[in-house]
Structure 1
Amino acid sequence: MKFSDLKSSGHWPTLLTAFLYFDFSFMVWTVLGPLGAQIGEALHLLPEQKGFMVAVPILSGAVLRIVLGLLVDRIGAKNTGIIAQLIVIAGLACAYIVGLPSYQAALLMGIVLGFGGASFAVALPQAGRWYPPNMQGVVMGLAGAGNVGVVLDSLFAPRLAAAYGWKSVFGLAIIPAVLVLVIYVAFSREAQVEVKKKRLADYFNLLKDKDAHWFCFYYTVSFGGFVGLASSYVLYFKGEYGLTPVQAGDFAALCTFVGAVLRPVGGAMADRIGGIRSLYTFYAVAGLAVVASPLVHNLNYNVLTFLIASGALGMANGAVFQLLPQRFGKDIGVMTGLVGAGGGVGGFYLASSLGMAKGYTGSYAPGFFVFAALCLLAICGLGLVKTRWRTTWGAAANARI
């Protein structure tokens, strides 16, 4: 496939605006992570409280993905995206004007920021519906590469907070929020495909299919690992090595950037050799890197292991979404929300468990080891389903699985 095919086969302005919407939404979704050290100091939070604070937006986004997934099929992806962006802008304005005077207020802000994370259930089906099955890996990977917004978070939020105060970061974020909204309204379009309106019961009906559970689990590990680590890097680097929030943010941005930009690479690799074979490799590499990370207390060593882990998990995200449209093409709106919710739950688990591990044991190692065990379970799960998938729906798919 040539990248010129993206222009001739679908609607590239929608793919681009879906990327921009997803990019900014991810930036504000995880903003409490890069600001976690400064907010934690201001509110005198314990390690487990800081871990839970940065994890709440991830859980909120997981739940709201189901809600927005329903709206995408009912009122359209574009209308749903506009509503979600307006809610996030209102939340940013309140946080800038009122601030976060307490731990409870920070948690409430995390719930509102979940609308940013829920953009996943809007941007991906909006872009994917424009393109044929054999291009889904690359298209979903490109649209999903908007998670590079997490990189911008880690890079700029600590610096802006150091210069103007962490409360000002919420106000400054309103500027690009409005700009992205205007571009999205002007240039994004709905694909001219027939979409059946879904009900909440449709989620439960899909969950009767065991393949839906497998996809949710695979994304719980891949995306949950990626975003859980991204939300925890600043707290980890600052706590373990005494770095400033800005220095910790730079390392966090570097690690997260690798995972974000490699997502479409993972999708393209899955298009070429098959999603199942790709996931075997990605989960194995991620699990080994996560196990290795706490074994040596050295900054350069830790940065290297996290680069490898984030990169592998980012590519696994792309591979999961190369497979998903082949299996659930007619229900991609609901399944994107459902699988995305699973990813959000995974991120909430990892970020909060790392905080709890540090608070209760004095080390992050138990949290990393348990997550590595989940990578191993994902590999075992692939072994259980690969033959059935390849001989049933995979045999009819117009793409490698």
Structure 2
Amino acid sequence: MNRGGVQLTLQTSSLVIGFMVWVILSSLMPFISKDIPLTASQISWVTAVPVILGSILRVPIGFWTNSLGARYLFFISFLILLLPVYFISIADSMMGLILGGLLLGIGGAVFSIGVTSLPKYYPKEKHGFVNGIYGAGNLGTALTSFAAPVLADKFGWRTTILLYIILLALFALLNFIFGDRNEPKVKKPFFKQIKSVYKSQKLWFLSLFYFICFGSFVAFTVYLPNFLVNHFGLEAVDAGMRTAGFIVLATILRPVGGWLGDKFNPYKILVLVFAGLTVSGILLSFTPSLVIYTVGCLSVAVCSGIGNGTIFKLVPMYFSNQAGIVNGIVAMMGGLGGFFPPLILTTLFNFTGHYAIGFMALSQFSLASLILVFWMYHQDKLFVADNVIEHTETGVMLTNIDGVIVRVNKAFTNVTGYTPDEVIGETPKKLQSGKHGKDFYEKMFASIKDKGFWKGEVWNKRKDGEIYHQWLTISPVKNEVGDTQYYAGLFTVLPNEND
């Protein structure tokens, strides 16, 4: 196995362990609440608190990964996690659970390590799939959701939590031994990187998308076990297994989302993702039966899983030089997206007696994201077209149907000497050399009308009065219904006959 393969395996396995630890409290809450009396609001806070540090720390951890390497970050993170895991196992109050849960968030923060480190080992066309495989480390939440209640039912929740110390110590050692000591490092000042990206619209739009997709994944992971027990009356082990099913489905589809992002336009995939989440939120808002509720939850799992993989295809595509800090910011927003929903749902339930408004909010946020994806897709196409026009060595002049110049590119200025301000609003007559008669131009536009284009040799005049020889192609630019809106002239300079 090559170096990239070794690191992909090691880091994905490490993420599994980190996520297993991250959701200990939510997975075992039906057992913990029997020993430590907690209200519904207190339970929501205890299970949501690990998400706080797990989200905020993703920014500096992404930055440190670029400068220090994944080996060092995983090793230190797992050693630190030993403390809160032990502390929670002996906690006997809500405050003890919250204090331990806060540091437990490091288990979720390690996500930023792999999405920053692993793309260094693979070409860009594989980044979506590789980050999708790494993101499948979400499976750790499923393992804890499924196994922890079973173990707690047999050995007690405190003993179950202590078992995680063994896993943490083992993977700290594995990263120390097999982590890549020679990982390429990127050492740039933290605030300099922040300054270079914080004004980017794409950064904040991608953060919003991940806030919805990963946030819904985390929120349902944290919220489902206790909700299924209290709202539908399921046994704790049954609720854990159903939650594990939700997590497994979302996790399996994350690499699929990354692969789809590699093969197709990622924005088209996100259109389907947010359309699905919009419909799912509406379905869940009607407080349906367990069967319909299950369909709604599984639909959220499918959409969030594919969306999570697709979004991290876009990050390195737009921010290759600031991948560490941007991965951290986007990942942080995703984690925070999982912090608020359980608290909001519980608060709304206390006021209204149902969860409809909370689920409808998911639908509306998803609908807003769907609109933004459409907008970004068209902006991206315009950006590409604009860059092609500006950076081509061919001179470009665009006129409206009345023959008034509306745009020229840099090559046009280099050849003619005219700046955009000097020709926009004028007509191409400004460039005429006087060597061609009226019949020449009449035949030119007759050809455009009959054939759809004209091409040939033309003598034009530069700003300084010099006559030059060019090869010119003129084509109409039509709108969606086939009406001509512009005429595009593309030209290259030919040697003068006396050269």
Give the TM-score taking structure 2 as reference length. Answer: 0.74
Match for 2:116: what amino acid? Answer: P
Residue 90 in 1 paired to residue 86 in 2? no
Residue 188 in 1 paired to residue 179 in 2? yes
Q: Equivalent residue for 1:276?
A: 267
Matching residue within 371, 377, 380 for 1:380: 371
Q: Secondary structure at the match of 1:174?
A: helix
* Aligned equivalents of 1:200, 1:65: Cα separation in 2: 15
Higher strand share: 2
Check 1:349–1:166 CA distance in 2 against 1; reply closer, same or farther (3 A cut).
same
Quote how far apart the aligned CAs of 1:354 are.
Answer: 2.0
Check 1:199–1:351 CA distance in 2 against 1; reply closer, same or farther (3 A cut).
same
* Aligned equivalents of 2:98, 2:155: Cα separation in 1: 22
* Aligned equivalents of 1:200, 1:105: Cα separation in 2: 35
Q: Equivalent residue for 1:59?
A: 52
Quote how far apart the aligned CAs of 1:373 are.
Answer: 1.1
Quote how far apart the aligned CAs of 1:190 are.
Answer: 5.5
Residue 242 in 1 paired to residue 205 in 2? no
Q: Equivalent residue for 1:206?
A: 197
State the percentage of identical aligned residues: 27
Q: How many residues align?
A: 387
CA contact (8 A) 1:238 1:244 kept: yes
Quote how far apart the aligned CAs of 1:224 are.
Answer: 0.6
* Aligned equivalents of 1:129, 1:82: Cα separation in 2: 19
Check 1:145–1:198 CA distance in 2 against 1; reply closer, same or farther (3 A cut).
farther
What is the 5 A alignment of 1:23-102? 23-96=16-89, 99-102=90-93
Check 1:40–1:395 CA distance in 2 against 1; reply closer, same or farther (3 A cut).
farther
CA contact (8 A) 1:73 1:198 kept: no
Where structure 1 has 5 or more consecutive residues not aligned to the other structure, the ranges are: 1-6, 397-401
Check 1:394–1:55 CA distance in 2 against 1; reply closer, same or farther (3 A cut).
farther
What is the 5 A alignment of 1:154-233? 154-189=145-180, 192-200=183-191, 202-233=193-224
Check 1:119–1:229 CA distance in 2 against 1; reply closer, same or farther (3 A cut).
same
- CA distances 1:271-314 after superposition (whole Å, capped 9, x unpaired): 11111000110111122123212425322222222111112101
Quote how far apart the aligned CAs of 1:213 are.
Answer: 0.8
CA contact (8 A) 1:18 1:124 kept: no
* Aligned equivalents of 2:263, 2:312: Cα separation in 1: 14
Q: Equivalent residue for 1:399?
A: none
Check 1:62–1:395 CA distance in 2 against 1; reply closer, same or farther (3 A cut).
farther
Quote how far apart the aligned CAs of 1:335 are.
Answer: 0.8
Match for 1:263: what amino acid? Answer: R
Residue 147 in 1 paired to residue 143 in 2? no
CA contact (8 A) 2:225 2:243 kept: yes
* Aligned equivalents of 2:181, 2:274: Cα separation in 1: 34
Q: Secondary structure at the match of 2:27?
A: coil
* Aligned equivalents of 2:150, 2:344: Cα separation in 1: 27
Residue 358 in 1 paired to residue 349 in 2? yes
Match for 1:282: what amino acid? Answer: V
Matching residue within 9, 12, 17 for 2:10: 17
Residue 336 in 1 paired to residue 293 in 2? no
Match for 1:91: what amino acid? Answer: P
Match for 1:262: what amino acid? Answer: L
Q: Equivalent residue for 1:266?
A: 257
* Aligned equivalents of 1:395, 1:262: Cα separation in 2: 35
* Aligned equivalents of 2:122, 2:219: Cα separation in 1: 30
CA contact (8 A) 1:283 1:379 kept: yes
Higher relative contact order (CA 8 A, sep 6+): 1
CA contact (8 A) 1:70 1:200 kept: no
> Which structure has the larger Rg over C-alpha atoms?
2
Matching residue within 128, 131, 135 for 2:126: 135
Quote how far apart the aligned CAs of 1:40 are.
Answer: 2.9
The alignment yields a C-alpha RMSD, in angstroms, of 1.9
Where structure 2 has 5 or more consecutive residues not aligned to the other structure, the ranges are: 388-499
Check 1:245–1:270 CA distance in 2 against 1; reply closer, same or farther (3 A cut).
same
CA contact (8 A) 2:287 2:355 kept: no
Q: Equivalent residue for 1:285?
A: 276
Q: Secondary structure at the match of 1:330?
A: coil
Higher helix share: 1
